Chain A
Amino acid sequence: MSRTASHMVRTTSDVLTVRNLVVAYGDRVVLDGVNISVPKGGSVGLVGESGSGKSTFARTILGLQKPRSGSVDIASGGADHPVQMVFQDPISSLNPHRAALDIVAEPLTIRGEGTMRQRRESARELLNRVGLDPERFADARPGTLSGGQAQRVAIARALIARPALLLCDEPVSSLDVSVQARVLNLLAELRDEIGLSMLFISHDLAVVRMIADSVAVLCEGRIVESGDTESVISAPQHNYTRQLLDAAPRLPGVTRFARASTPTSTPPLPPRSPSTDPKDNR
């Protein structure tokens, strides 16, 4: 796999191909020539902090934002809405007045697929598949669901539409760490089971590592590094990637972190040398 700043391997079986995407709001350029692709059945991670442009990227893929230049190609296989999204805040992505079963069945209802009974049956199956017992949850309103449960409903709804691409925008960031693990497990299982193609956006490299085979690092509107996830993490090429890795908290026993210690046991840290990196003054 190429490790340069702007290439991902493109094959004809790519579900998503983004070429030289430029998105701007007036004078402000938010995405500056982004190239990324998702192979069929593959899972690609996009790592970026706030201000990197990742939210704008998600909206552009969904068609909610028009790019200034560049192209977004989705191998839709004829479907009208081949990209489905899972949001960061699960509860706000569900209509608060409706029951879970209706929410999950909604995509089919909109398309007018099948009879109402068939739609509800499919929805029930999918609720089951994401780990929610239909008996208990079919009539539940979003307000009564926990974050993890709501996210599962959102995933079920996204999947019932049989999307070509599942776009996940920080889907586990607002969940407790134990719930996070379960939802990530679920996504991984679904990916393996039905060959789901996935683009996973997150600010957390470790989370992306758990779910994505390849990763692209987005910094201020540009992809600064991309490639196989394990390689990028073990041998980062770009300074920003190194910063991200360095900043991630490490559990003791893992090398390479400095921290202040008690004044009586060790001498205090020397004053930090001024850094020329503008990011250091954030």
Chain B
Amino acid sequence: MSVTELTTPLAAPSTSSVARRRIPRVGVILAAGWLVLLGVAALAAAVGLTADPLANDYSVISQAPSLTHPFGTDNLGRDVFSRSLHGAAASAVVALVTVIVGGGIGILLGVWAGLRRGFADAVVGFLTDVTIALPSLIIVATIVTLSGPSLPTISLTIAGFAIPVFARLSRSATLAIATENYVIVAHTLGASGWRILTREVLPSVLPIMMPFIMTTLATAIVAEGALSFLGFGLRPPEPSWGGLIAEGRTQLPVAPWVTLLPALLLCATILSINVLGEHSREAKR
């Protein structure tokens, strides 16, 4: 009688894959926790519970972080913490509008094109390809400059550029799902096109799109940050993350916290969103 532990398989399970199954649990909790915390804080700031982000106080300029000013103050005496949170609120608005409006329209367009095929598909495909080919950041910057930098303008323009990418992805997902037997059955049962779209196809498409939805949140925040850093976003003294980072550049030798802390906030937020996005992809398997 011989006993053997067959631990030398043809394809050994990599230790990293075992490790990866553990890490997201801790990381996911941290990421989700951070985003919730930030969200609550940004909300608090938006309703005025924190210091006035626009108030200049020349008696406390360029002070290091302290209890009264957790992120310190900048060269005009403004509370960096409050400004950062207001910036977070602005970024959140941009991200959510992009995903809800841009994603909503884009996914509906894509699913519709994927189901109808033919002319509808050709038109949507053409518009999508053209829009994706355009240099989005430059065009958004131009539009913002021409019509004035306001949160709605910035959000909707960025959302507009998200529409074609959502459309393209959801169209591919739809093509795969439309041939599934249960969709064919719905046809034979006499379900209307709208019903098939909402009840059969969409519930299967949305989970597929979830990782992309998460990364779009991140991309929108970075886009807004880049725009305001370059000066095409919210006009100072309106706080926004990109603007804060830009303003703080000149103060780096004297008061590095003015740039670094908002930048850290931005990084942590993007990282958290990406971790959650990765988790949503892993969770599907």
Residues of A within 8 A of B (CB): 62-64, 80-81, 83-85, 87, 89, 92-97, 106-107, 110-111, 157, 161
Contact of B189 among A63, A87, A97, A107 (CB under 8 A): A107
Residue of B nearest to A154 (CB): B185
Cα of A106 to Cα of B190 in the assembled complex, Å: 10
* B198 shortest CB reach to chain A, Å: 12
Residues of B within 8 A of A (CB): 180-182, 184-192, 195, 199-200, 203-204
Contacts of A161 in B (CB 8 A): 189
Cα of A118 to Cα of B231 in the assembled complex, Å: 63
Q: Is the CB of A80 within 8 A of B190?
A: yes
Residue of B nearest to A62 (CB): B188
Q: Is the CB of A85 within 8 A of B190?
A: no
Contacts of A81 in B (CB 8 A): 188-190
* B268 shortest CB reach to chain A, Å: 35
* B202 shortest CB reach to chain A, Å: 10
Cα of A110 to Cα of B204 in the assembled complex, Å: 19
Q: Chain B interface secondary structure, helix, strand, loop or mixed?
A: helix
Q: Which of B182, B184, B204 has the most CB of A within 10 A?
A: B182
Contact of B180 among A64, A84, A92, A110 (CB under 8 A): A92
Whether A92 touches B189, Cβ cut-off 8 Å, given contacts A97-B203, A97-B204, is no
Question: Nearest 10 pairs between A and B by C-beta?
Answer: A93-B181, A92-B181, A95-B182, A97-B203, A81-B190, A107-B189, A110-B191, A87-B181, A80-B190, A110-B189
Cα of A96 to Cα of B185 in the assembled complex, Å: 13
Q: Is the CB of B185 within 8 A of A93?
A: yes
Contacts of B192 in A (CB 8 A): 110
* B91 shortest CB reach to chain A, Å: 33
Q: Which of B184, B185, B186, B190 has the most CB of A within 10 A?
A: B185
Contacts of A63 in B (CB 8 A): 188
Contacts of A84 in B (CB 8 A): 188-189
Cα of A105 to Cα of B184 in the assembled complex, Å: 17
Q: Is the CB of B188 within 8 A of A96?
A: no
Cα of A1 to Cα of B246 in the assembled complex, Å: 90
Whether A92 touches B182, Cβ cut-off 8 Å, given contacts A97-B203, A97-B204, A110-B195, is yes
What 7 additional pairs, Cβ within 8 angstroms, besides A83-B188, A92-B180?
Answer: A81-B188, A84-B188, A85-B188, A87-B181, A94-B182, A95-B182, A110-B192
Whether A111 touches B190, Cβ cut-off 8 Å, given contacts A96-B204, A97-B203, A97-B204, is yes
Whether A95 touches B189, Cβ cut-off 8 Å, given contacts A64-B184, A87-B181, is no
Q: Which of A64, A92, A161 has the most CB of B within 10 A?
A: A92
* B179 shortest CB reach to chain A, Å: 10
Residue of B nearest to A85 (CB): B188
* A84 shortest CB reach to chain B, Å: 7
Q: Is the CB of A106 within 8 A of B187?
A: no
Contacts of B199 in A (CB 8 A): 95
Contact of A64 among B187, B189, B191 (CB under 8 A): B187
Cα of A106 to Cα of B199 in the assembled complex, Å: 11
Residue of B nearest to A94 (CB): B182
Cα of A161 to Cα of B190 in the assembled complex, Å: 11
Contacts of B184 in A (CB 8 A): 62, 64, 93
Contacts of B189 in A (CB 8 A): 81, 84, 106-107, 110, 161
Whether A89 touches B191, Cβ cut-off 8 Å, given contacts A96-B204, A97-B204, is no
* 14 pairs from A and B in contact (CB 8 Å cutoff): A64-B188, A83-B188, A84-B188, A84-B189, A85-B188, A87-B185, A92-B181, A93-B181, A93-B184, A93-B185, A96-B182, A110-B186, A110-B190, A110-B195
Cα of A157 to Cα of B181 in the assembled complex, Å: 14
* A89 shortest CB reach to chain B, Å: 7
Residue of B nearest to A160 (CB): B189
Contacts of B190 in A (CB 8 A): 80-81, 107, 110-111
* A119 shortest CB reach to chain B, Å: 13
Contacts of B180 in A (CB 8 A): 92
Contacts of B191 in A (CB 8 A): 110
* B196 shortest CB reach to chain A, Å: 10
Cα of A93 to Cα of B199 in the assembled complex, Å: 14
Q: Is the CB of B188 within 8 A of A93?
A: no
Cα of A74 to Cα of B134 in the assembled complex, Å: 53
* A228 shortest CB reach to chain B, Å: 30
Q: Which of A80, A89, A96, A97 has the most CB of B within 10 A?
A: A97
* A74 shortest CB reach to chain B, Å: 12
Cα of A89 to Cα of B180 in the assembled complex, Å: 10
Cα of A64 to Cα of B192 in the assembled complex, Å: 15
Contacts of A110 in B (CB 8 A): 186, 189-192, 195
Cα of A80 to Cα of B188 in the assembled complex, Å: 9
Q: Is the CB of A93 within 8 A of B182?
A: yes
Q: Is the CB of A95 within 8 A of B188?
A: no
Contacts of A83 in B (CB 8 A): 188
* A110 shortest CB reach to chain B, Å: 5
Cα of A85 to Cα of B183 in the assembled complex, Å: 13
Residue of B nearest to A142 (CB): B182
* B85 shortest CB reach to chain A, Å: 39
